[in-house]
Amino acid sequence: MTVSVTSIARLLAAGCALVATFGLAAGIGAAQESGPAAAEQARPIELKQGDLAPVFAAKTDQGKLWKSDEHVGKKYLVVYFYPADMTGGCTAQACSYRDALAKAPREDVEIVGVSGDSVDNHKHFKQVYELNFTLLADPDGKVAKAFGVKAGEGGELTREIGGEEVLFARGVTANRWTFVIDLKGRIAYIDRRVDPRRDTENVLKVIDELASGRREVAAE
The beta-carbon contacts of 69-72 under 8 Å, at least 24 apart in sequence, are: 71/110, 72/181, 72/185
Alpha-carbon span 199 to 188, nearest angstrom:
15
**Residue 17 zone, left/alpha/beta (φ > 0; ψ -120 to 50; rest):** alpha
Q: Which of 172, 68, 187 lies closest to 118 in space, CA to CA?
A: 172
Whether 203 contacts 181, CB under 8 Å: no
The catalytic site residues sit at: 90
At residue 104, φ and ψ (nearest 5 deg) are -140, 85
Q: What is the dihedral of CA 201, 205, 207, 209, to 10 degrees?
A: 180
- The alpha carbons of the chain give a radius of gyration, in whole angstroms, of 26
Whether 177 contacts 146, CB under 8 Å: no
Helices (H) and strands (E) in the chain, counts: 6, 9
At residue 129, φ and ψ (nearest 5 deg) are -105, 10
H-run or E-run covering 127: helix 119-129
